[in-house]
Structure 1
Amino acid sequence: MVMNEFTLPGGIGISHLRAYEWEAEDGVLGGSPHVHLACTEAYVVTAGRGAVQTLSICGYAQTPLEAGVIAWFAPGTVHRMVQGGGLRVTVLMQNSGLPEAGDAVFTFPSDVLGDPAAYAEAAALPKTDDAAKRRRDLAVSGYLPLREALLDGDPAPLRAFHRAAVALVSPKIGDWVPRWQAGALKAAELTGAHLKALADGDGSHLEQSGVRVATPSNPDGYGMCGRRAEYDIDQEGRQG
């Protein structure tokens, strides 16, 4: 019988965000536009108000956010968190470990996206407000032309961005697969093992029950969209 492990449900990642309040070149307060290539992301709004701006082949949208709202977006959706006043969001991320391994790609200008070394330097985790703001501003500078094109009914620049993002991350997939296998896939397979055991009248996995508690491993880091409280929980449910 497979042992019960204390991963978060579904092998998800979780963090808490306080949306940035820095004004961008278009006068909007908020975070760094980016896209995920393999992971669905969800915002659970816990306080304040704001919005999420999204770009997809279907066009541009701005979705209001306030306490109680849950908004989620599939891979390929460029998203930008907008601060409206005290916005606080709990982020649920599919496939924990993949975003940290490079699944999230900023909307930097094409010359940066096309140069892996330049992209890595521009995307590096910031350690100061100034560095985080520079990274955000560079992402916004590449995002605004994509948005303008979609508003004009032209999805070609967004498609070009998608192609550049795929080219940037494709060399990393060999590292992503075992992360996925050890995380989300293993969590799903464990449920299958439990269902089979229950069908056979075997409830031995129930003896592995219990509770685990985690506190933020980095309570005030820099995320893509705001100050980020993150959790470092390994696949056995232990906090690193």
Structure 2
Amino acid sequence: MLNDWIRFLEINYTRIIELTFQHAQLVGLAIIVALIIGVPLGIYLTTNEHLAGTILQLASVFLTIPSIALFGVMMPLFSLINQGIGFLPAFVALVLYSQLPILRNTYTAIKNVSPEMRDAAIGMGMKTHQRLLRVEIPNAMPLIMAGVRTAVVLNIGIGAIAAYIGAGGLGVLITQGIGRGDTYLIISGSLAIALLAIIADVILLLVQKKFTNKAVAIANE
């Protein structure tokens, strides 16, 4: 069986690589947009406790919706603009799934910045935006990056379901394998998704460590 699978990989490796890049592109773009939305919103929520509770609960609701159901909801919505299947509905669904870990970690990280550090920054005459950019965000960055890592790994897994609405990616191998009863397709798709998640997490962990070191350096200035 192992030899047969190796032979299958030799024949289909170019397609697997192509679908891997397609999968990474979908998840990567969704994470970038989620960061653009989630980080500023998470920072703002630290100034509005009432709104923070509402927004975080809403983000939690999106994360509890089964992925196949959310993708299914997106299809009729985007059909109104003739984009019911394909990249766009899957992309929007993944952006929504990314919000909770990014929002919550950003909110928690900024809230937990040491009051003494804030007071020291104020004592140095820093304005609000200077304090945010030079003190609060650098010290909050490790926890924010941890949220990003969670969102990326989560979306790599959920992104497999996007194949059911024509968005491509590694889920294509799994759906085709299920439809054809082809074990090699299912195994190859599953392992490729797992490997992509591990690689992405390791890369982001290195970035997180780098930002952590910078945060420590800034804090000690």
The TM-score, its normalising length taken from structure 1, stands at 0.24
Determine which structure has the larger helix proportion and give its number: 2
* Greater relative contact order (Cα < 8 A, sep 6+): 1
The TM-score, its normalising length taken from structure 2, stands at 0.25
